[in-house]
Amino acid sequence: MSAVATRTEAAGAIGRPQMDHSAPTLFERYRVTLEDVVLRVWEDLALEGGAECPVCGGSMAPDGCQGCGAELD
């Protein structure tokens, strides 16, 4: 058996599958998760001593949010 490479597709040849990027894949990170938000707050609290509250947007200290009282345990 032999094959010949040509620059044009033969009539009826199977084309390449089209990639559909509208649907997320298993490992594609396309948005921020709750885990990402909480980890960022923990990191800011540990490194800077304060963070933006993920609940109300107020000022969060290690003992909780000054505005709404939310805490990370």
Q: Where are the alpha helices (DSSP H) in 1-73?
A: 34-48
- Tens of pLDDT, residues 50-62: 999 999 999 999 9
pLDDT given for residue 32 in this prediction:
84
One-letter amino acid of 37 = V
Tokens of 63: 């003992």
pTM of full prediction above 0.85: no
pLDDT given for residue 52 in this prediction:
95
pLDDT given for residue 3 in this prediction:
46
pLDDT given for residue 47 in this prediction:
95
- Tens of pLDDT, residues 16-52: 555 555 666 666 667 888 899 999 999 999 999 999 9
